[in-house]
Structure 1
Amino acid sequence: VTETRTGPLGCSSYDNLDSVSSILLQSPESKINLQGLQVIFPEYLQEKFVQSALSYIMCNGEGEYVCSNNHCICQCADDYPQCNCPITDIQIMENSLLGMSESWASSYKDFENSDEFKSFLKRLPSTHFLPISSVHLLWGSDWDLQARYRLLQSSLEIQRLKIQRTARKLFGLSIRCHHNPNHQMPRERGHLVGYDTMSLYGNTTREIGIME
C-alpha cells in the first residue's frame, strides 16, 4: 500500500503503509517529490526548502509564498509589485467575454434574419404607418414567430448566465491587480418589436428610436 500526500510528510502514523510519497506540487506538466529530500536535508533546513520551493513555483520567483488562516498568497518582492496578478488569465477572460458579447449580438442578428421574422415584416404595410399596439397584436398572434422568439430568449438566458459567471471570475482575479476590467453586460432589447418596426418605418438616417 502506498499513500501519496500533498505537501511535506507530517507526523501521522504510517505503520500500515509499505511506502509514503509526499508531493509538493503536481500538475500534468510537473511533479515534485519531497520524499528523500526531506531525509537528505538537515531538519532545520527542511521547512526553509519547502518554503523556497513553493515561492519559486507558486510566485515565479517574484515573491515569497506565505499562508495564514488557510489562505495563501504571494508576498511580492519590491521589484515585482504585481506578482499576485494573474494577468494571463485575466486577458484570456477578457477576450472570452468579448467573444461572448459578439455571440450575443449575433443571436439577435440570426433572429432578424430568420424566415419567421422576415415573414412577419412582410405582413406589415409599407404604404402607411401602423400604431405600435397593432404591431404588438400581429406579433403576439404569429405562433411561428413566437416559437422562434422563445428560442432566442432561451439562448440569451444561457449566454447571460455564462457571461455573468465569467465576469465574476474576472473581477475576482482583478482584485489583486492594478487593473480595472472594462466590462459591461450586453443589454437585451426590451422593445424588440419597436426597434425592428423602426427599421421598417424609420427614416433613411436609421436613427435609433422606438415607434410610439
Structure 2
Amino acid sequence: MINQFDVLIIGSGLAGLTLALKVADTKKVCLVSKREITDSASSWAQGGIAAVLNNDDSIEAHIEDTLVAGAGLCDKEVTHMVAAKARESIEWLIQQGVHFTRESDDSGYHLTREGGHSHRRIYHVADATGNAVQKTLTERIREHANITILENHIAVDLITRKKLAHTQPDLAGEGNTCLGAYILDNATGKVITIAAQQTALA
C-alpha cells in the first residue's frame, strides 16, 4: 500500500517541525521521526536565539558579529538571510506560544549577550530554550489536522525517478526527482511506502 502526501518531512527537530507547520495549512504533510518527536537534538539547546528587535541594535551589527565569529567560514549570503529573518522567526515562535523569558518588571524580554555578540540580542526561555521551543511546536503539530506523525519510524531509502525507471520505463526521463521514501516502522519491522510531491530532509 502506498501512502500519498503532498509533503514528506524526514526529521523532527526544529527545522522539521517549523516546515511542517508552515506548509500544513495548504498541504497534506507526513512528518517522520526516528524517535518521539520531543526527543531530538534541538531539545538540548540551552542558550537562545539571536535576533534584532530593538533600535539599540542593528541587523548589520548582527551580520558583522556573525562573520567575525565565523572566522571566514560563514557563507555571507546565508548569514545575511538568517540575520534579516531572525526577527520574523522570533515573532512567529511567539505566535505559536513560545514564552521567552521576560524582565522581572515585565518591561520586555530578558535579552542576554553570548560570546561573539556586540549587543544583548539573545531571546531565551530560562536555560532550556530548545526544549521549550520543541515542546511548543510539538503541541501545534499534534493539533494540526493536516499533519500525520510517524514516530519511531526510520527512512531507509529515498524513492527517486531514476531508481523506479528500472522497473517502470515510463518514469525514465531527464532529471532524477525524489518521489517519496521507504519508511521502516520500528515496532513492526515492516517497511511502508510514502509517496510525496515534495520531500524534505530536515
Q: Which has the higher helix share?
A: 1
Q: Which has the larger radius of gyration?
A: 1
TM-score normalized by structure 2?
A: 0.25
TM-score normalized by structure 1?
A: 0.24
- The structure, 1 or 2, with the larger RCO (C-alpha pairs under 8 Å, 6+ apart) is 2
